[in-house]
Structure 1
């Protein structure tokens, strides 16, 4: 595996203004089939990345495969995979989940975060209140960690790398990526984020894509998570967000963003998985590249408004004059 994701990165997304190439984003992208083999790749498939929130569905596997989350409904399964906006639909669900566990906001270890949802922001400002941990975009994942922790009987510091919860996450991660993780970084929500090659992450997404065809416990768990993500896209991200809008524009496809330019996709009907990393961490580039790959694979209509807001997106001046375009490079 290549330890430096910037090495061998190739041009993927460009911003043109008039006749000028104004900006250029480099990165890597991999598409794997159900057997874990690469069908297409750009850049270095062996580049090691921290996948950040793009693999929350992997982090949720032990919750279901352990039996701890057998009775969870699809809304909570979507929230456990979410990087949400902190809107009421997210925070109300997280609070109810905590209450059902006999726990409270203080039991979370994700840290407080201002919500990205504007009505939620306004409500806090009007009340002269501060955000709490339930507003954290990862609060659903952490509710899942707490539920698993209650089942395992672990201590309260469930985000420690050697805690039973995180050991279970690592075991699932290495199983579905087919790799031994070379290490971890601490994510924004304080949980360890285990590294893998880009091919390993794409292999895991392809494993999720074919999970509905298998009957083992881990695969049944994966199929439930994918179904929940697509059934409740508004819980996975939020209104106007790429994950939510693009999933609504497709049939059965689940996608997930991660911080610093990472994106993944699960295509069950095609049995394919996608993983990409933009080397400079730009979200506008990761969204454009993901949209283009989904178009390339025939699951996203290039004329759909959700697609056009991300790739082949016309840049306008503040007076509405067409000034440029965000697009992928030729050949993608």
Structure 2
């Protein structure tokens, strides 16, 4: 096994102060490794980076079309959103459209990460609902698929038909049997795989076409295109997924996951990327994914969204530049 390698560095003046180490893999459409840092075989929990895979059964089963879902709904099914009005308004409309209520969710209530939405709850002396949960779009997809299947209400249970369909899709596109799962923050199973498996899955999404005769490939292309078309729904203002997708001009679909996971789908090159920072530091993962996208030629190094995360100045409370976060020598 290869140990984690440095991916991002924090410098204070001339001193290397901190290092974020981890693993990263780039795969092509055949599943072959094009670039690798660290250990491609490392077992990982992709967390929310797997949401587009978890949404595959929703689309390929015909449930999305039967419910007349739009591209915006598909983007939300892949989202870890801020709980802003643009997100919760659509989720509430989706629930109403399929005849469901907030109590049908199994994701749990969460205070919105969006400041305006959180302050509105405080002013109204109101508690957050489950539709505020950053995973409520994914769970709306689960509910839609569950209604289509006619299965029981506990759709997050690992032996439920919804999660069985998710696991089958996950193992197919990663090309590996999952060794197990952890329970995610939203209470759904999060299936484990290798980092290489996740990069292979992202390459499958990158190479997929909407006109493909294979339902799974067509579904993958629809989900990828929805993410690229609605970056603001996938995350939110100020977030890396949203800003970097905009900076790439739709050439890349990106998704972060908890504990410093990141994936990317690059359709023009039919490449998939997966990375994991070992210490769970988000700033390290954002720097590393930006560096990889620059290396692959789909993100401009001097774009403000890139510079916010890669070769980004660190300033103190007086605005004095004290250092920077930059890719490691290995990554650069």
Give your verdict on TM over 0.5: yes
Give unmatched runs, 5+ long, in structure 1: none
Give the structure 1 partner of residue 254 of structure 2. 255
SS at match of 2:64: coil
CA distance in 1, matches of 2:263, 2:18: 23
Give the structure 2 partner of residue 292 of structure 1. 291
Give the structure-1-normalised TM-score: 0.97
Maintained 8 Å contact 2:44/2:193: yes
Give the structure 2 partner of residue 326 of structure 1. 325
CA distance in 2, matches of 1:313, 1:130: 37
The match for 2:60 among 59, 65, 72 is 65
CA distance in 2, matches of 1:20, 1:114: 38
CA distance in 1, matches of 2:85, 2:166: 28
CA distance in 2, matches of 1:265, 1:243: 10
Between 9-18 and 211-220, the greater mean CA deviation after superposition: 211-220
Give the structure 2 partner of residue 311 of structure 1. 310
Give the structure 1 partner of residue 208 of structure 2. 211
Report the Cα offset of residue 55 of structure 1: 1.1
Residues 233-244 of structure 1 aligned to structure 2 (within 5 Å): 233-244=231-242
The match for 2:187 among 187, 190, 202 is 190
Structure 1 consecutive aligned stretches of length 4 or more whose deviation exceeds 4 Å = none
CA distance in 2, matches of 1:314, 1:168: 45
SS at match of 2:83: coil
CA distance in 2, matches of 1:133, 1:72: 20
CA distance in 1, matches of 2:213, 2:36: 30
Give the structure 1 partner of residue 92 of structure 2. 95
CA distance in 2, matches of 1:331, 1:169: 35
Maintained 8 Å contact 2:7/2:330: no
Residues 133-282 of structure 1 aligned to structure 2 (within 5 Å): 133-212=130-209, 214-251=212-249, 252-282=251-281
Residue 76 of structure 2 corresponds to residue 74 of structure 1: no
Report the Cα offset of residue 214 of structure 1: 3.5
Give the structure-2-normalised TM-score: 0.97
CA distance in 2, matches of 1:76, 1:182: 31
Residue 23 of structure 2 corresponds to residue 28 of structure 1: yes
Report the Cα offset of residue 321 of structure 1: 1.2
Deviations 1:187-210 (A, max 9, x none): 000000000000000000000000
CA distance in 1, matches of 2:103, 2:69: 22
SS at match of 1:120: helix
Residue 43 of structure 2 corresponds to residue 48 of structure 1: yes
SS at match of 1:207: helix
CA distance in 2, matches of 1:214, 1:290: 29
SS at match of 1:16: strand
